[in-house]
Amino acid sequence: KKKKKKKKKNETGNYIFSDKERENFLKTKKRALRRALFMDAKIKRVSDIDTTQETFRAKLHFYLTWLATYDEVQEYLKWERQAELKKAAARKIAAWAPEWEPQLEFTNAIDIHEYGRTC
Instruction: Summarize pLDDT for 67-83 with one digit per residue, the tens.
Output: 888 888 899 999 988 88
Query: Which residues neighbour 42 within 8 Å (Cβ) at sequence distance 6 or greater?
Result: 60, 61, 62, 63
Phi, psi of 41 (to 5 degrees): -120, 135
Dist. CA 83–CA 96, nearest whole Å: 10
pLDDT of residue 32: 54
In 3D, which of 57, 43, 41 has the Cα closest to residue 109? 57
Instruction: Summarize pLDDT for 107-117 with one digit per residue, the tens.
Output: 888 888 777 77
What pTM was computed for the model?
0.53
pLDDT of residue 47: 95
